[in-house]
Amino acid sequence: MRLARFLGYRLLLAIPVVLGIVVLNFFLIHLAPGDAASVLAGESGAASPEYMEQLRHKFGLDRPLATQFGVYLLNMLHLDLGYSFRNDSPVGSLIVDRLWPTGLLMLTAFAAALLIGTLLGLVAATGRNSWRDAVISLVSLVAYATPGFWLGLMMIVVFAIRLGWLPTSGYDTVGADNEGWDEVWDVGRHLVMPAVALALFYLAVYARVMRASVLEQIGMDYVTTARAKGQTEARVMVGHVLRNALLPVVTMAGVQAGNLIGGSIVVETVFGWPGVGTLAFNALQSRDLNLLLGIFFVSACLVVVINLAVDLVYVCLDPRMEL
């Protein structure tokens, strides 16, 4: 009952947040110069004023901005994300088709960054001022300072072009028609480099946060008490320190969720990964405002859901938190 009440309360709080994001995105996007009509007219080579006027009337771009916003808001209330005139398809279907590749990439990168980063931070903290602490700190610093797009390009040059171990781009091998485990293996090989390029920065963040958190918890009185009772060092670390040290990491993971979605745009573009990030990049180039607004709305909803999940994990880790 408490869990249901907690979830209901958080969902009610999320409604004005998402509504505010919808309003802000609409007016910010319409401040940018250009529209879909100018792009289509330029591509067709018929950019006469009359043709431009016909396209704007067809797309509803000749209406006052307040009228366009009212129509957009009414459609959003009916969960209608609009129509992409550039792709000649509903925005909702375009996004749904790209959600699985993006979700696979994000979940893989997020899980790898969180698990490996937490483990490295724990190893560095337990060996404070040792050689492994120095190595992990140095690697984390380099990973934190390395741009994802540059790392992706270097990985393509080394592992795809020079060594030929991994494919350069795409989601799977074109025309291979693989099935079963062959398809899983094929997609996995294509996933390795994009996931590493996306995860490395966040791995460094989690490792640094975990190291600092563990070192802080080790100095607490309850750790001294546990050691005085004769508990082994492994039991003290796993049973007492680790659970409390994970709280800042979980908080950071929730905050970084939005950045992970934004970072996937760059990584997907570099590797030609057919996800929502590539779709957003193409929509931006073609001034497909309806598609951009739909992607921003779905991204905002995903961030809200992820933060709700983080709150639930926080409650499980910290018994002092009440629903």
In CATH, what number is assigned to the domain containing residue 108?
A: 1.10.3720.10
Task: Say how many residues make up the chain.
Answer: 323
Among 29, 52, 80, where does a domain finish? 80
- Give the confidence band of 31 by pLDDT, cuts at 50, 70, 90: confident
Q: Is residue 2 a part of any domain in this protein?
A: no
Distance CA 62, CA 60 (A): 6
Q: Which of 2-6, 65-69, 234-238: highest mean pLDDT?
A: 65-69
Q: Is residue 310 a part of any domain in this protein?
A: yes
Pairing between strand 83-84 and 89-90? antiparallel
pLDDT in tens, 206-250: 888 888 888 888 777 777 777 777 777 777 777 777 777 887 887
State whether 122 and 199 are in the same domain.
yes
What is the overall mean pLDDT for the chain?
79
Cβ(208)–Cβ(140) under 8 Å? yes
Cβ(57)–Cβ(261) under 8 Å? no
Phi, psi dihedral angles at 83 (to 5 degrees) = -130, 135
State whether 236 and 143 are in the same domain.
yes
State whether 103 and 220 are in the same domain.
yes
90 forms bridges with which residues in the sheet?
83
Q: Is residue 12 a part of any domain in this protein?
A: no
33 forms bridges with which residues in the sheet?
none
**pTM of the complete model:** 0.80
Check residue 43 and give its pLDDT.
57
- Neighbour tally for 82: CB within 10 Å: 19
Check residue 48 and give its pLDDT.
65
State whether 113 and 43 are in the same domain.
no
Q: Is residue 10 a part of any domain in this protein?
A: no
State whether 240 and 161 are in the same domain.
yes
Outline where DSSP puts E strands in 231-316: none
- Neighbour tally for 152: CB within 10 Å: 23
State whether 70 and 101 are in the same domain.
no
Number of domains forming the structure of the chain: 2
State whether 143 and 62 are in the same domain.
no
State whether 196 and 129 are in the same domain.
yes
Distance CA 68, CA 290 (A): 11
Check residue 44 and give its pLDDT.
57
Q: Mean per-residue pLDDT for 23-32?
A: 78
State whether 63 and 108 are in the same domain.
no
- Tell me which of 94-98, 130-134, 213-217, 228-232 is least confident: 228-232
The parent domain of residue 53 ranges over 19-80
Check residue 47 and give its pLDDT.
61
Q: Is residue 167 a part of any domain in this protein?
A: yes
Cβ(90)–Cβ(81) under 8 Å? yes
State whether 187 and 281 are in the same domain.
yes
Check residue 319 and give its pLDDT.
60
Q: Is residue 322 a part of any domain in this protein?
A: no
Contacts of 280 (CB under 8 A, 6+ apart): 265, 291, 292, 295
Q: In the numeric block, which tokens belong to residue 262?
A: 């934004």
The percent of residues in the chain predicted with pLDDT above 90, rounded, is 0
State whether 198 and 307 are in the same domain.
yes
Check residue 88 and give its pLDDT.
75
Distance CA 47, CA 38 (A): 7
Check residue 137 and give its pLDDT.
87
Q: Is residue 60 a part of any domain in this protein?
A: yes
State whether 48 and 104 are in the same domain.
no
Q: Is residue 90 a part of any domain in this protein?
A: no
